[in-house]
């Protein structure tokens, strides 16, 4: 397959992450054609030109629709704020492009459903940017669970905490707008939901609570604006197969930087993982001798593929952007018709439905079943 022609919309945090992945995937894996970085779109032409030079794209534009119309573009990375995902992804799919869209799909469930329908009609690949599932440690944890290393899983707890909205004096910006979604649930908690999906299947039923630590935030020009969504969420869940689970998410947790703490309890042991220490996990097995029973730390190593594609020695560690390179390789595999470790729009929509069920549960103060 000739190298894919790539179009990138947005060059912020995740836009740069996508660009680094497209730039690096052929060098890291060595078994794919080098993608062609065709065009980049930003909010204005000057910014687009500067970012294209920095990130290695051949052309740039201040109008994202130019990428949709460009016949040299085969796939479009959508890395804009949440409210723009649906319009851009649907336009790309209808134009016959593959789509790699950052999470969440869209703030409105109806828009997420339109995205999924457009993907089905197009028969093009439509994948979500759930990079944490690509961690070799998570993949190995999945294999351990499947082989019964900790027996039958009966309870899971997952917490996602960061402090980028912890300061009450931080200025109001788009993440506090209702147009961006519910807040911690869909901007944030979809990541641990993606891990739960990959490890155990989808969520069946939920009961949720949400909190606004700060009811308003200051504006740059003076005054303040009311916060329109919730930065903290707590959810009780039933997963497929009847496993009980707890999800807690907090975007205003001082001291937490990139924490996704996963605790998996089984009939014969437990597994602990924390994304802030993403190159290790802890394993407890009750089959060990009583005098030696305890959690043991497992460090990432070449045996945990595809760690070996990056580093030939154990214990040196991968980083956040490396997970996106792995995801990019999976994306290329899927486009070639090969088996791939991705979350497409079908399963992405089920995650969105889980989030909306949580919000409905909060509003109605009751357990809510998740639509299949």
Q: Would residue 92 count as lying in a domain?
A: yes
Q: Return the pLDDT at 372.
A: 81
249 lies in the same domain as 356: yes
pLDDT band at 191 (very low <50, low <70, confident <90, very high): very high
165 lies in the same domain as 308: yes
Tell me the pLDDT tens digit for each residue of 44-99.
Answer: 999 999 999 999 999 999 999 999 999 999 999 999 999 999 999 999 999 999 99
Residues 188 and 160: beta-carbon distance below 8 Å:
yes
- Round to whole Å and give the CA distance between 195 and 178: 26
119 lies in the same domain as 167: no
Tell me the pLDDT tens digit for each residue of 84-109.
Answer: 999 999 999 999 999 999 999 999 99
**Residue 306: which CATH number?**
3.30.360.10
65 lies in the same domain as 92: yes
Q: Return the pLDDT at 300.
A: 98
Residue carrying structure tokens 């609570």: 209
98 lies in the same domain as 140: no
**Residue 91: which CATH number?**
3.40.50.720
Q: Would residue 25 count as lying in a domain?
A: yes
Q: Would residue 83 count as lying in a domain?
A: yes
Last residue of a domain, one of 128, 143, 166: 128
Q: Would residue 324 count as lying in a domain?
A: no
What is the pTM for the complete model shown?
0.95
pLDDT band at 130 (very low <50, low <70, confident <90, very high): very high
Q: Would residue 90 count as lying in a domain?
A: yes
Last residue of a domain, one of 93, 128, 163: 128
Sheet order of strands, 126-128 included: 59-61, 36-41, 5-9, 75-78, 98-101, 126-128
Q: Would residue 369 count as lying in a domain?
A: no
Q: Does 192 score more than 80 pLDDT?
A: yes
Tell me the pLDDT tens digit for each residue of 152-171.
Answer: 999 999 999 999 999 999 99
Instruction: Write the CA distances from 83 to 65, 78, 235, 261, integer angstroms.
Output: 16, 11, 24, 28
Residues 33 and 1: beta-carbon distance below 8 Å:
yes
82 lies in the same domain as 158: no
- Of 5-9, 179-183, 323-327, give the lowest mean pLDDT range: 179-183
189 lies in the same domain as 262: yes
Sheet order of strands, 269-274 included: 296-299, 280-285, 269-274, 259-266, 153-161, 244-250, 232-239, 203-211, 368-369
Kind of pairing between the strands at 269-274 and 280-285: antiparallel
Tell me the pLDDT tens digit for each residue of 238-295.
Answer: 999 899 999 999 999 999 999 999 999 999 999 999 999 999 999 999 998 899 899 9
The two tokens of residue 65 are 């629709």
Q: Would residue 78 count as lying in a domain?
A: yes
Number of domains in the chain: 2
Q: Return the pLDDT at 256.
A: 97
pLDDT band at 366 (very low <50, low <70, confident <90, very high): very high
Q: Would residue 301 count as lying in a domain?
A: yes
Q: What percent of the chain has pLDDT over 70?
A: 100
Q: Does 1 score more than 80 pLDDT?
A: no
Q: Return the pLDDT at 321.
A: 98
Q: Return the pLDDT at 314.
A: 97
Q: Return the pLDDT at 172.
A: 97
pLDDT band at 187 (very low <50, low <70, confident <90, very high): confident
113 lies in the same domain as 149: no
Show the domain range for 67: 5-128
Q: Does 2 score more than 90 pLDDT?
A: no
Q: Does 209 score more than 70 pLDDT?
A: yes
Last residue of a domain, one of 86, 110, 128: 128
The two tokens of residue 82 are 């949440």
Residue carrying structure tokens 């730390």: 297
């Amino acid at each position: 397959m000739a190298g894919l022609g790539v179009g990138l919309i947005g060059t912020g945090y995740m836009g740069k992450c996508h660009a680094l992945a497209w730039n690096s995937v052929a060098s890291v894996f060595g078994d794919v054609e080098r993608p062609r970085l065709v065009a980049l779109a930003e909010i204005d032409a000057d910014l687009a030109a500067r970012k294209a030079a920095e990130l290695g794209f051949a052309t740039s534009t201040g109008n994202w629709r130019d990428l949709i119309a460009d016949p040299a573009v085969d796939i479009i990375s959508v890395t804009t704020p949440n409210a723009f995902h649906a319009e851009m992804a649907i336009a790309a799919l209808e134009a016959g492009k593959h789509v790699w869209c950052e999470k969440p799909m869209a703030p409105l469930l109806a828009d997420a459903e339109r995205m999924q329908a457009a993907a089905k009609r197009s028969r093009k690949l439509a994948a979500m940017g759930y990079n944490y599932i690509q961690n070799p440690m998570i993949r190995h944890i999945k294999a351990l669970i499947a082989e019964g290393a900790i027996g039958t899983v009966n309870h899971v707890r997952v917490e996602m905490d960061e402090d980028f909205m912890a300061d009450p004096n931080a200025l109001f910006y788009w993440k506090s707008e209702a147009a961006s979604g519910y807040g911690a649930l869909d901007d944030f908690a979809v990541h641990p939901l993606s891990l739960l999906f990959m490890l155990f299947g989808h969520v069946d039923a939920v009961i949720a609570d949400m909190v606004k630590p700060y009811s308003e935030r200051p504006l740059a020009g003076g005054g303040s604006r009311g916060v329109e969504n919730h930065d903290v969420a707590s959810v009780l869940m039933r997963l497929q197969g009847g496993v009980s689970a707890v999800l807690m998410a907090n975007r205003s947790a001082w001291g937490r930087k990139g924490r996704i703490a996963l605790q998996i309890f089984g009939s014969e042991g437990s597994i602990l993982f924390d994304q802030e220490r993403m190159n290790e996990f802890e394993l407890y097995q009750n089959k060990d001798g009583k005098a030696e029973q305890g959690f043991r730390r497992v460090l990432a190593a070449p045996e945990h593929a595809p760690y070996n594609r990056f580093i030939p020695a154990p214990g040196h560690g991968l980083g956040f952007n490396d997970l996106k390179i792995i995801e990019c390789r999976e994306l290329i595999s899927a486009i070639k018709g090969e088996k791939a470790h991705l979350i497409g729009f079908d399963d992405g929509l089920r995650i969105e439905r889980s989030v909306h069920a949580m919000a409905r549960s909060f509003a109605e103060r009751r357990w809510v079943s998740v639509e299949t």
